[in-house]
Amino acid sequence: MTSLKVMGMTCGHCEAAVRKALEAVPGVTAVTRVDRNDQVAEVEGTADVAALVAAVVEEGYTAEAA
């Protein structure tokens, strides 16, 4: 599992946008958690962390490996 710290999510729409962006990254088999309160996203699969971060940043949020 890969965990990301995601800053800038303020609502359910934000969580959905981050989830959709992460699901589109090659190598992701599941997005198991996106939580705006804990500022975390958890992903299963073999996706590169840099690609995951880039996908979240492209959606307008700040992200880094947790």
CATH number at residue 44: 3.30.70.100
In 3D, which of 34, 1, 6, 35 has the Cα closest to residue 20?
A: 34
Tokens of 48: 């590169």
User: How does pLDDT run along the chain (66 residues), one tens digit per residue?
Assistant: 999 999 999 999 999 999 999 999 999 999 999 999 999 999 999 999 999 999 999 999 999 998
The domain tally of the chain equals 1
Tokens, residue 30: 């599941």
Model confidence, pTM: 0.94
Pairing assessment for the beta strands 2-7 and 28-35 based on DSSP bridges: unpaired
Q: Which residues contact 62 (CB under 8 A, 6 or more apart)?
A: 6, 7, 8, 56
Closest by Cα among 66, 61, 64, 65 to 10: 61
Q: Tell me the residue range of the domain where 24 lies.
A: 2-65
